[in-house]
Amino acid sequence: MEVKSLHLQVQEMRQSLFDEGYLDRQYTQLEALAKDTNPNFIVEVITLYFRDSPDVIASLEHELEREPIEVPMITKCILRLESSSASIGAIKVYKELKKANTFLQAGNIEGTKAALGGIKKQHRELRAKFETYFQLMRHAAGPTEVAVNSS
C-alpha cells in the first residue's frame, strides 16, 4: 500500500509542476524519450541543466556588473540559458529570460538587472522542486539492486 501511495505522490507532484506553471509540454517530450531509451534519461538531462545553468547565470550577473556594459556578451548568456531552459520545459525560467532580453534590447540595463533577480528566483524554485520530485521518485522506486554475497 505504501508503494502505491508513493507512486501517487510522484504523479501528483509531477502534475503540480505543470499546474503551477514551472514546466511545459517540452518536459513531457523529454519523458517520452526517456521511456524509449533510458529510464534515467530525464534525471540525467535535468541534472546536467542544474549543473551547467548556475555558471551561465553567474556569467550573466558578471557581465551586467562590468563597465562598460557589453550587450553582445549579455545577449549570449541570456540566449544560452533561454535555449537550455526551453529544451527542458522550464517555462517560468524561460519567461524571465525573455523579459530580461526584452529589457536588454530596449537598452534598459536596470530592467535587465532587475529581471536577473526573477531568473535566479525561478531557477532556485525549480531546482528545489526537482530535488524533492527526484527524491520522491527514488523513494517510490525502492531498492534497485540486490546485495550479492561475493564469497
**Would you list the DSSP string of 124-142?**
HHHHHHHHHHHHHHHHHH-
558578471: which residue's cell? 62
Q: What is the pTM of this model?
A: 0.87
54-86: per-residue pLDDT in tens?
999 999 999 999 999 999 999 999 999 999 999
Long-range contacts of 72-75 (CB under 8 A, 24+ apart): 74/104, 74/112, 75/101, 75/104
Judge whether residue 1 has pLDDT over 60.
no
15-45: per-residue pLDDT in tens?
999 999 999 999 999 988 887 778 788 999 9
Judge whether residue 147 has pLDDT over 50.
no
* Phi, psi (rounded to 5 degrees) for 84: -70, -35
Please report which residue ranges of the chain form alpha helices under DSSP H: 2-19, 25-36, 41-65, 71-88, 91-105, 109-141
Q: Name all domains of the chain by residue range, CATH numbers in brackets.
A: 2-139 (1.20.120.160)
* Phi, psi (rounded to 5 degrees) for 23: -125, 155
**Regarding predicted confidence, which is higher, 145 or 117?**
117
Euclidean distance between CA atoms 62 and 56, whole angstroms: 10
Euclidean distance between CA atoms 85 and 90, whole angstroms: 5
Mean pLDDT of the chain: 90
- The per-residue pLDDT for 142 is 67
